[in-house]
């Protein structure tokens, strides 16, 4: 297993970080989060195409760059750091689902458009019950006709392509699951933007009434692809989260070094220093877990189900704890709208819950290891 990034990977990270600082300063984040779309379609398209971001993990045969989850993790970490408002995670998850569930022909047809950024996409799997497991999926596929609803769909109101998970009537659990694709503007599909606590992360509710889906792979045999996609999704999210947590930590540290009270820098108080040290520990441990899980995916480690949940649980605890400390270190100003801390605070909260919280993933991890 690799435990360090190569010189090329480090260089890629530096380039991307600089590009994101220029592209997505906090002023731009605040502007975009207040819009209905949640991102700047033309600007994102250009930026994405310049850096080849949505194709990073897609094999070259399907128009991508052919890198792995290690590189995808770097992109997500940097985006989590900058709070970039763009449908990146959503499009990446859709492409991962297509890679896992699609036939060769379907991959060739669908992936190049996502890789080159000409289309945005999303993965719609969760429903109103909020379950992250196959058992929570109630949407039915009768032939290719999709009926039911999906909720908490990342960028679901703007995605050009929706990858959706549905089941054959009368089946339960992992049985009878199929992946379908549908155009964002397909007849019978109603999309409603949800008002979200974390405004940088747009979610939508999708209602399907007899929508004609295009099946991916073998009908009814999507169970394993769904499980795999979920494991990969949480590793992606964990990597995004550690980027945000590290940024939050750094900003709080910078603030306390500057803030004077009682005639001295508040960074000179041991109570502040202890917090700062603990925050570093939390974030570094979470990074180690997120990086390890990404490397495990790239190396086809059979322990991935446990390692993915481990990374998500650790990232959730670390981001949450960092967010609590960071706000406290800012004091009153940290609770104001104008201070930027709340933007990452809310991202920490939304990430903690998205795709399952720490308790759920600790349970999944231990279930995998207890077998």
| Residue count of the chain | 371
Please name the residues in contact with 260: beta carbons below 8 A apart, sequence gap of 6 or more: 266
Query: Cβ closer to another protein: 18 or 273?
Result: 273
Shortest distance in whole angstroms from residue 95 CB to another protein: 28
Q: At what angle do helices 304-330 and 358-370 cross, to 10 degrees?
A: 150
Shortest distance in whole angstroms from residue 326 CB to another protein: 14
As given in the structure block, the two tokens for residue 37 are: 């779309």
Query: How many other CB atoms are there within 10 angstroms of residue 32's CB atom?
Result: 22
Query: Cβ closer to another protein: 138 or 368?
Result: 368
Residue 225's SS3 state is helix
Query: Cβ closer to another protein: 10 or 60?
Result: 10
Query: Cβ closer to another protein: 31 or 257?
Result: 257
Shortest distance in whole angstroms from residue 109 CB to another protein: 39
Residue 351's SS3 state is helix
As given in the structure block, the two tokens for residue 197 are: 């606590």
Query: Cβ closer to another protein: 167 or 275?
Result: 275
Query: Cβ closer to another protein: 2 or 169?
Result: 2
Helix (H) or strand (E) run with residue 211 in it: strand 203-212
Shortest distance in whole angstroms from residue 135 CB to another protein: 17
Q: Which of 87, 79, 95, 84 is nearest to 41 (CA)?
A: 87
Shortest distance in whole angstroms from residue 311 CB to another protein: 9
Query: Cβ closer to another protein: 57 or 312?
Result: 312
Which residues of the chain form contacts with another protein (CB under 8 A)? 2-4, 253, 256-257, 264-265, 267-268, 270, 272-274, 276-278, 280-281, 284-289, 291-292, 310, 313-314, 359, 362-363, 365-366, 369-370
Shortest distance in whole angstroms from residue 241 CB to another protein: 14
Q: Which of 263, 359, 277, 268 is nearest to 325 (CA)?
A: 277
As given in the structure block, the two tokens for residue 56 are: 């990073």
Helix (H) or strand (E) run with residue 264 in it: strand 264-265
Shortest distance in whole angstroms from residue 282 CB to another protein: 10
Q: What CA–CA distance (Å, rounded) separates 64 from 114? A: 9
Q: At what angle do helices 341-353 and 26-33 cross, to 10 degrees?
A: 60
């Amino acid at each position: 297993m690799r435990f360090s990034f190569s010189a090329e990977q480090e260089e890629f990270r530096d380039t991307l970080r600089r590009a994101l600082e220029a592209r997505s300063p906090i002023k731009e984040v605040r502007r975009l989060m207040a819009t209905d779309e949640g991102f700047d379609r033309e600007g994102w398209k250009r930026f994405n195409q310049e850096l080849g971001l949505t194709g990073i993990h897609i094999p070259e045969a399907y128009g991508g760059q052919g890198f792995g989850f290690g590189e995808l993790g770097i992109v997500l970490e940097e985006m989590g750091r900058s709070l970039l408002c763009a449908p990146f995670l959503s499009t990446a998850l859709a492409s991962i689902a297509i890679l896992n569930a699609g036939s060769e022909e379907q991959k060739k047809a669908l992936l190049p458009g996502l890789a080159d950024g000409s289309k945005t996409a999303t993965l719609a799997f969760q429903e109103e019950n909020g379950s992250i497991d196959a058992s929570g999926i109630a949407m039915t596929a009768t032939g290719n006709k999709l009926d039911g609803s999906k909720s908490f769909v990342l960028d679901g109101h703007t995605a050009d392509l929706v990858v959706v998970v549905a089941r054959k009537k009368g089946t339960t659990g992992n049985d009878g699951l199929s992946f379908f694709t549908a155009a964002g503007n397909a007849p019978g599909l109603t999309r409603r933007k949800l008002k979200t606590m974390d405004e940088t992360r747009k979610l939508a509710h999708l209602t399907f009434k007899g929508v004609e889906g295009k099946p991916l792979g073998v009908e009814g045999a999507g169970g394993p692809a769904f499980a795999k996609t979920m494991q990969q999704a949480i590793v992606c999210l964990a990597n995004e989260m550690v980027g945000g947590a590290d940024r939050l930590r750094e900003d709080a540290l910078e603030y306390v070094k500057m803030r004077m009270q009682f005639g001295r820098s508040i960074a000179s108080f041991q109570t502040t220093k202890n917090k700062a040290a603990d925050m570093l520990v939390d974030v570094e441990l979470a990074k180690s877990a997120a990086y390890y899980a990404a490397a495990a995916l790239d190396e086809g480690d059979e322990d991935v189900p446990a390692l993915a949940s481990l990374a998500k649980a650790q990232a959730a605890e670390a981001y949450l704890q960092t967010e609590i400390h960071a706000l406290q270190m800012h004091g009153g100003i940290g609770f104001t709208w104008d201070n930027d801390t709340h933007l990452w605070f809310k991202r920490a909260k939304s990430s903690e819950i998205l795709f399952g919280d720490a308790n759920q993933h600790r349970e999944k991890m231990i279930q995998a290891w207890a077998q």
